[in-house]
Amino acid sequence: MKFSKAAIVAKPHEGVAQYLQQAISVLEEYGLAYVLEKTAAELLRRPSFCVREDIAAQADLIVVLGGDGTFLSVARQAAEAQVPVAGFNLGTLGFLTAMKKEKLAEELGLILEGRAVVSRRKLLQVDFKGRSHTALNDVVVNKGTIARIIKLLLTIDGTTVAEVKADGLILSTPTGSTAYSISAGGPIVSPEVNGIVITPICPHSLTFRPLVVPDASKISVQLLTPHMDTFVTVDGQMAMPFNFEESIQVRTHHKPLSMLLAPGTSYFRLLYEKLNWGL
């Protein structure tokens, strides 16, 4: 991949200004123009910036300095515009911002030289109330604060699978299998697997276990419990009220996200390090 203009997105962290300067220096060394997202511009006290909602329209490469939440905030529009994203982790965990800040200059340079590993990540599309939304990690149906379970009708490709009595249901991509789904007991699924993970949240029946279904599946979830505060959330960043007898339709989105990683990056090594499997 060759690039002409990069957009830099950052989250305020201790020492983030020095990493912003490093990223800019590398871009300038390789002759790339760049634009700063508003937060990044404020951190460097630059007057010129682009708002995050328009970042994918401003460049042919997005560089994220932050954590997974910062990555998610640009991932959906990046996938729609087919702009690749390179994420450098400034926090602790970071499955999406997989590259380390200590190697920012070196690994960003390798990416700009065209030596990046390109990981194509599937997204989900959720259709609800006449509108479509996309999710890189997950679509979640969950109840509000009342300590009662909800009942959901799960249908896959027109076939009724189960009436799920639980606190909620998580539909995740393989990428999102290490997010909310893993906390609810779901499996870790390699991003190379073409599937959708369905994980119940605290199911009333212990016989209903997490499922992995083909990514060509068309999934419907209908709320069967009246008078409950229930919500549909997309990547943990958008919440929509979900009412009695309403349903959502979920399927794989037709455009993947291109994640750029440094040469030699391994998903299984990432699991080893992030989940402390070496201890």
- Phi, psi values for residue 262, rounded to 5°: -70, 150
Q: Is 157 a catalytic residue?
A: no
pLDDT digit string (tens) for 108-162? 999 999 999 999 999 999 999 999 999 999 999 999 877 789 999 999 999 999 9
The model's confidence at residue 92, banded by pLDDT at 50, 70 and 90, is: confident
Half-sphere exposure of 173 (CA within 13 A, CB side): 24
The model's confidence at residue 93, banded by pLDDT at 50, 70 and 90, is: confident
Residues of the chain with CATH 2.60.200.30: 124-252
| Angle at alpha carbon of residue 269, lines to 211 and 193, rounded to 5° | 30
Contact 82, 25 (CB under 8 A): no
Extract the tokens encoding 30.
């390789």
What is the percent of the chain with per-residue pLDDT over 90, rounded to a whole number?
A: 87
What is the percent of the chain with per-residue pLDDT over 70, rounded to a whole number?
A: 100
Backbone angle region of 32, left / alpha / beta, with phi > 0 → left and psi within -120 to 50 → alpha: beta
Assigned CATH topology for domain 5-122+256-274? Rossmann fold (3.40.50)
Taking the alpha carbons at both ends of the chain, their separation in whole angstroms is 37
pLDDT digit string (tens) for 188-246? 999 999 999 999 999 998 889 999 999 999 999 999 999 889 999 999 999 999 999 99
Contact 196, 184 (CB under 8 A): no
pLDDT digit string (tens) for 165-190? 999 999 999 999 999 999 999 999 99
The model's confidence at residue 106, banded by pLDDT at 50, 70 and 90, is: very high
What is the pLDDT, as a whole number, of residue 279?
65
What is the pLDDT, as a whole number, of residue 30?
96
Query: What predicted TM-score, i.e. pTM, was given to this entire model?
Result: 0.94
Distant-in-sequence, close-in-space partners of 167: CB < 8 Å, separation ≥ 6 = 142, 143, 149, 150, 201, 202
Instruction: Give the active site residue among 54, 68, 215, 229.
Output: 68
What is the pLDDT, as a whole number, of residue 147?
74
The model's confidence at residue 4, banded by pLDDT at 50, 70 and 90, is: very high
Residues of the chain with CATH 3.40.50.10330: 5-122+256-274
CATH class (in words) of the domain with range 124-252: mainly beta
